[in-house]
Amino acid sequence: APSLEVATEAEKESAVAQAKAQGIDTGTVSVNPSLIQGWRARSGSVLVDRSAKQALVDLYQKITN
């Protein structure tokens, strides 16, 4: 079943809409305190990661490549 993790309660509505736009429609939303900011959605083997950590990893990869 599709799932969605958010960093804070305040991000739930926005994250649900953004995940739906990415093709992941879920009613299961949980708060994950290990996320600093943003959200992660999973449906089967598809993961959409819009967390702050992923943004930093992407930035690092762009700088070092």
Measure CA 58 to chain center. Answer: 14
Q: How far are the Cα atoms of 8, 23, 24, 39 from residue 56, in angstroms, in the given order?
A: 19, 24, 23, 14
Distance CA 65, CA 62 (A): 5
Distance CA 54, CA 32 (A): 15
pTM score of the predicted model: 0.84
Distance CA 21, CA 27 (A): 14
pLDDT tens, 1-41? Answer: 899 999 999 999 999 999 999 999 998 899 999 999 999 99
